[in-house]
Amino acid sequence: STPMPEYNFAGVQPGQSWCLGGHSFVKAHLDGMAPHIFIHATHKKMLELIDLETLKQYAIDL
């Protein structure tokens, strides 16, 4: 995520995890830019937005 010094936020650093909303993930997937995910930390409601097989493509914890 973008650094925002006015909020004392240095941005997400390499190796850090960050929460991404479901609709933002789907948009990133459609744009070919979706990040890797921890599928075991992904809420089951994501399956209302995107299928499990697609999510598994991005999983780093399987």
pLDDT at 13: 87
pLDDT at 18: 86
pLDDT tens by residue, 30-47: 999 999 999 999 999 999
How much is the pTM? 0.78
* Residue 26 pLDDT level (bands cut at 50, 70, 90): very high
Cβ contact 54:33 at 8 Å: no
Task: List, as one string, the DSSP characters of 3-61.
Answer: -BGGGTB--PPTT------HHHHHHHHHTT-PPPB-GGGS-GGGGGTS-HHHHHHHBS-
Average pLDDT, the chain: 93
- Note the maximum CA span of the chain: 40
At the top level of CATH, the class of 18-58 is: mainly alpha
Q: Which residue has the tokens 């999983």?
A: 59
